Amino acid sequence: MAILITGTPGVGKTTIARLLAERTGKKYIDFAEVVKNERLYAAYDPETNSYVVNLDRARSYMEQLLSCEEILDTHLVEALPPDKVSVAIVLRLDPLVLRERLNKRGYPSRKIRENIESEILDAVLISAIENLGEEKVFEVDTTGKTIAEIIEIITQILNKNGKLYKPGRVDWLEKYYFLIGKEGGII
């Protein structure tokens, strides 16, 4: 049963998942790499420079692959077999900070906008709850936190001390509703 580190692109999944794997001695799996190497995609979208994952094939491949407590890194929760994920940590990040990070990464503006929208609307959190069940899902607001602080919180959650991190505490809509749809606004 894998430990899933998920969230909108740019929130810090890879950074956190790699370090967590190193600290715990568990195996790190980058889902995007598996998709590429095993050709689990249905198409390639040159416009966004990304693969469109074949969800059925990905799910059955991951069903075979996941056997122990791997640390799995992906935003695509719907491509995973739910019975092979024991806990999902959804990393959250203030959309304005996320926008800066994606800008720095050189993402095209359309992709930045899509990701900001998806962070504001809790898309990954909702997908995790729908696909895995709320019991397994936790969310951590990483805004302004150091990597060490985030690892500490995740360790707490994995030690069954995650009450403070059940879904519902992060609300970007509440924080930024006044910026939505405005000229130069957030989305």
List residues binding ligand ADP (CB under 6 A): 7, 9-15, 101, 142, 145-147, 150
**11 binding partner (options Mg ion, ligand ADP, none; Cβ < 5 to 8 Å by kind):** ligand ADP
Cα separation, 81 vs 63, in Å, equals: 6
Instruction: Using CB positions, name the residue nearest to Mg ion.
Output: 14
Q: Which is nearer to ligand ADP, 25 or 144 (CB)?
A: 144
- Known binder of ligand: residue 143? no
**99 binding partner (options ligand ADP, Mg ion, none; Cβ < 5 to 8 Å by kind):** none
Look at the chain and count its residues.
187
Q: Which is nearer to Mg ion, 1 or 76 (CB)?
A: 76
Distances (CA, A) of 5 to 2, 12, 45, 146: 10, 9, 25, 16
Q: Which is nearer to Mg ion, 105 or 169 (CB)?
A: 105
- Known binder of ligand: residue 10? yes
Q: Which is nearer to Mg ion, 31 or 165 (CB)?
A: 31
Closest approach, Cβ 169 to ligand ADP, in A, equals 18
- Known binder of ligand: residue 12? yes
**101 binding partner (options Mg ion, ligand ADP, none; Cβ < 5 to 8 Å by kind):** ligand ADP
Residue 98 makes CB contacts below 8 A (sequence gap 6+) with 8, 10, 11, 115, 116, 119
Nearest to 51 by CA among 60, 43, 59: 43
SS3 139: strand
Structure tokens at 46: 């040159």
DSSP state of 182: S
Closest approach, Cβ 184 to Mg ion, in A, equals 29
Read off the amino acid at residue 182.
Answer: K
Binding residues for ATP: 10, 12-15, 105, 145
